[in-house]
Structure 1
Amino acid sequence: MRPGRTGSAVVDLRDADEGEPDHAPRPAGIATVNVPLDPVGTPFYEHWTGIDNLGSPLYYPAMLVEHPEPIVAAVRAIADAAPGCVVFHCAGGKDRTGLLALVLLALAGAAPEEIIADYLLTYQRMKQRYDELGARDQLAAVTELLATRNTTIEASLASTIASLTMPDYLLGNGLSDAEFAALRARLTA
């Protein structure tokens, strides 16, 4: 964290061409950091777009192993943000956001069942938005997709959480000791 900086930060996990510009300017003191989480243009992206359109936790373990850089970059943006509130988002509120939340909650020491409950809560909280857009019930859609792969949301997430060793994952993939200390302080203060 940089001394003397205060305010809030928004970490936008969408690809640069994915979002619309803000309809109104952000208030002073709110910084926006764009950290695209999807490795667009890679074989990984093409592969998983064909399986689940990167719309379920099924791709999380592969993403963590094959593309740790964007995950660490998003964590770094949170660690380096000025003192104050930090929020992060993607387009749907459950996929990229869900992966980053899983990583942060695992680092903070949340129990696997708490992380899974947090992920599932997103479906409930986002239901009205998807209804307004005329989109299919996302919980039903993801549940059905994972059933074709002989798994469930809960089992997929539990497997991902069990494979994630913290803080070794972040430190081994480029997060510095100073960034880790700043992140830990932000998550536990």
Structure 2
Amino acid sequence: MTVVNLPLDRPGDPGRELHGTPFYLRPYLEQWPDRCAGAMRAIVQAPPGGVLVHCVAGRDRTGLITILLLALAGVAPEDILADYALSAARLRPLYALLGQPDDGLRATRRLAAAGTTTAEVVGALLDGLDVAELLRRGGLTPDELTTLHDRLTEPAT
């Protein structure tokens, strides 16, 4: 097993107050396409077989990278939304097991205050999102994009 530690956030990054909410996603993509491309490059360069992507809780950074991977693979937006929603539902029991407050409640309150939902925010992000262009802006080469797409869509050999 090969472990690649690729932090997507840096101390002092602006927008940290948006963590734990889907409001985090669009500003992140706009500010750091290079970090997204770096995560994709790590997947491209990984040995054959499965790849595990994770962050602390598995929602913000993992969710962002997973959204990009699924969109690049051609997964329908409604299926990407359903996948993203699974994290919140599955994190509740984890927080309870750890005796920690459910961080998702903060996101729910923030979304309600803005008069929106996770599905609306993530759906708006997906609407018109050109993942290949985003990753090219971040420095991923055409060959890397092809390799990544193939890795996501071709049967393993």
Say whether the fold is shared (TM-score over 0.5).
yes
CA distance in 2, matches of 1:152, 1:135: 24
CA distance in 2, matches of 1:130, 1:185: 36
Stretches of structure 1 lacking an aligned partner (at least 5 in a row): 1-29
Stretches of structure 2 lacking an aligned partner (at least 5 in a row): none
Compute the displacement of 1:165 (Å).
0.8
Check conservation: 2:34, 2:135, Cα contact below 8 A: no
- Partner of residue 7, structure 2: 36
Check conservation: 2:111, 2:118, Cα contact below 8 A: yes
- Partner of residue 150, structure 2: 185
Compute the displacement of 1:163 (Å).
4.1
Compute the displacement of 1:123 (Å).
1.8
- Partner of residue 105, structure 1: 70
Q: Which has the higher strand share?
A: 1
Give the number of aligned pairs.
154
Query: Is the aligned partner of 1:141 residue 2:106?
Result: yes
Which segments of structure 1 move beyond 6 Å, counting only runs of 4 or more?
none
CA distance in 1, matches of 2:44, 2:24: 25
The structure, 1 or 2, with the larger RCO (C-alpha pairs under 8 Å, 6+ apart) is: 2
Aligned residue type for 1:127: R
TM-score (norm 1): 0.76
What RMSD in Å do the two structures reach over aligned CA positions?
A: 1.5
Alignment of 1:1-189 (within 5 A): 30-42=1-13, 44=14, 48-49=15-16, 51-52=17-18, 54-189=19-154
Q: Judge which range, 179-188 or 130-139, deviates more.
A: 130-139
Compute the displacement of 1:135 (Å).
2.4
Larger radius of gyration: 1
